[in-house]
Chains A and B, each alone.
Chain A
Amino acid sequence: MNMTVRKLHEGAPAAAAPAVPAAVVALPAPKRAPAGEKLLAYCKMVAANVIPPLLVILFLVALWEMLCSAPGASLPPPSAIIKNSWELIADPFYDRGGLDKGLFWHILASLQRVAVGYSLAAVVGVALGTLIGQSTWAMRGLDPLFQVLRTVPPLAWLPLSLAAFRDGQPAAVFVIFITAIWPIIINTAVGIRNIPQDYRNVAAVLRLNPIEFFLKIMIPAAAPYIFTGLRIGIGLSWLAIIAAEMLIGGVGIGFFIWDAWNSSLIGDIIVALIYVGIVGFVLDRIIAAVGAFVTRGTAAS
């Protein structure tokens, strides 16, 4: 009996996942069959998800190293970046005053601007989206305007914003706001318009007042759409802040990149880009997770 179980465990990984034998062989032999099987299955799942991207990254880094190691290459290879920008990679928290800070502080400054601009966009966007989703007249009046304005590139707003606010900080926040708001408005409006007549009938029979209807029917029913808009919005905000900061200067990851370019520190730029990418990814996942939590049940009706 015991023998058979053992055999099964030794045989299964090789048969099921021949591409990644290394990760599975390293497992200690399971003492109790059910627990061991669970652990094995879990490790297999992790291996299947982690190993392919890891291999791709390794391959790409190797390719990059090869291509950029030639004399006269315009971009530095990874090994040179690690050597030259080690301080930046190793300590993101240093602060020597002025603009000479670790990447953490630059990212934090950018995130603060995004937080203010994006929060404003979320509140105003959901409110306006509800208005044009619910009222045909508001939609007829505002929709053409929105459709034109939403195609204006974020940076095109910056000069106007600087002229209006006469200061870089609120100008950058405004650019975030105006960039993030359109997908939020449009998705909220679609969500509100798509509320099933059944829910409206229920609300009518129960005689919910407009505030109750808004809170108990509209917002939950439209939540999946609203969160789609919020997710697109956070992505666009992060895109826009980098560009806006390049122009307004001061502490912020966008200006850091521009500054590095002016100082010909190409390695610093690449390190900063990796940070920007990871932060953008995390922001997107946070909104997605909040959305999944808030809309639990709604989508699976």
Chain B
Amino acid sequence: MGAYLKLDHIDKTFTRGSASTNVLKEVTLDIEKGEYVSIIGHSGCGKSTLLNIVAGLTGASAGGVILDGREVNSPGPDRAVVFQNHSLLPWLTVYENVRLAVDKVFSGTRSKAERHSWTLHNLDLVQMGHAKDKRPSEISGGMKQRVGIARALAMEPKVLLLDEPFGALDALTRAHLQDSVMQIHAALGNTILMITHDVDEAVLLSDRIVMMTNGPSARIGEVLEVKLARPRKRLDLVTNATYLKAREAVLKFLHERHRFVEAA
């Protein structure tokens, strides 16, 4: 049977005219149910492409993705994505944005009242119930991202895909959201695949950190297991030896062995 989510020998080559670029090479990764896995690498290494392939938004040139025993190659709500720039529909309110997803996924299985309360439940989960009638333009960046998370969670996905979800936020807001995601992960036991370029974020949140080499032809360089007990407390970890060691390992990988060369 194998892993819950299996990335099997994924290759991706972009072709434009006669020029073709091999972005990903032989990426294979097994993710267990309930696991929190981060993919880290320098920008341009193809980690976002990899996430898009898992989401089904981009097709792989070779290899494939198997989720819960079935191959997936088109987008669907079983792999909900939290996009980097929130991607809320600006003409809908916070509630309507989540409700759109709920209605689409559960229209056949749940009554109207159930869908309404499920929408509110998910907004409460990310502490955004108070702003349900606001439009995205009226709330802050961090709040938008919370709504994006609520929308993804509301689909009850088999795996939650986070595409640098906190990248555009300031450090304090980011910390708040990371705590929220940790709480949700602890409460619901979601399987999460997150793209990030923030070493601290990766170590704090993940069970495993997948480090990508630089592109072109990026592949998985190393996989680091973070053996820290949950729940994890940001402040306690500052002096924690395991935490520091993991952090050092990722930093060394990124800055010694696979230093980003701007010109390349």
Interface residues of A (CB under 8 A from B): 196, 198-199, 201-202, 204-208, 212, 216-217, 220-221, 223, 295-298, 300-301
Contact = CB atoms under 8 A, between A and B. Distances in A.
A206 B83 contact: no
B90 A298 contact: yes
Given A206-B101, A207-B77, A297-B136, 13 more contacts: A199-B87, A199-B89, A202-B83, A202-B89, A205-B57, A205-B81, A206-B104, A206-B105, A207-B104, A220-B91, A221-B91, A297-B91, A297-B135
8 contacts: A204-B74, A205-B75, A207-B104, A216-B100, A217-B89, A295-B91, A297-B136, A300-B137
Contact of B83 (A198, A220, A296, A297): A198
A297 B90 contact: yes
A216 to B, nearest CB: 7
A162 B96 CA distance: 50
A206 B136 CA distance: 19
A300 to B, nearest CB: 4
A220 B89 contact: yes
A201 B91 contact: no
Contacts of A201: 55, 57, 75, 81, 83, 87
A298 B90 CA distance: 5
A301 B101 CA distance: 20
A206 B89 contact: no
Interface string B110-148: 000000000000000000000000011100000000000
B189 interface: no
A220 B105 CA distance: 21
Contacts of A202: 83, 87, 89
B217 interface: no
A226 to B, nearest CB: 13
Interface in B55-104: 55-57, 74-77, 79-81, 83, 85, 87, 89-92, 100-101, 104
A213 to B, nearest CB: 11
Interface string B153-166: 00100000000000
A301 B137 contact: yes
Interface residues of B, number: 25
A300 B80 CA distance: 26
A223 B91 CA distance: 10
A185 B150 CA distance: 37
B77 A301 contact: no
A285 to B, nearest CB: 22
Q: Top 6 A-B pairs ranked by shortest CB distance?
A: A301-B90, A198-B87, A204-B75, A220-B91, A300-B137, A297-B135
Contact of B57 (A196, A204, A216): A204
Nearest to B76: A207
A221 B79 CA distance: 24
A80 B136 CA distance: 58
A198 B85 contact: yes
Nearest to B81: A205
A207 B105 CA distance: 9
Contacts of B57: 201, 204-205
A294 to B, nearest CB: 9
A196 B101 CA distance: 18
**Which of A207, A217, A297 has the most CB atoms of chain B within a 10 A radius of its CB?**
A297
A295 B136 CA distance: 14
A165 B90 CA distance: 45
Given A201-B81, A220-B89, A220-B91, A207 B75 contact: yes
A208 B107 CA distance: 12
Contacts of A223: 91
A212 B91 CA distance: 15
B87 A208 contact: no
A282 B92 CA distance: 29
Nearest to A296: B91
Contacts of B76: 205, 207
A134 B57 CA distance: 18
A105 B56 CA distance: 61
Given A201-B57, A300-B137, A301-B136, A206 B77 contact: yes
Nearest to A208: B104
B84 to A, nearest CB: 9
Contacts of A204: 56-57, 74-75
B95 to A, nearest CB: 13
Nearest to B80: A205
A295 B92 CA distance: 11
Contacts of B83: 198, 201-202
B94 to A, nearest CB: 11
Contact of B77 (A199, A205, A217, A220): A205
**Most interface-central of B80, B91, B105 (chain A CB within 10 A):** B91
Nearest to A217: B89
A220 B55 CA distance: 25
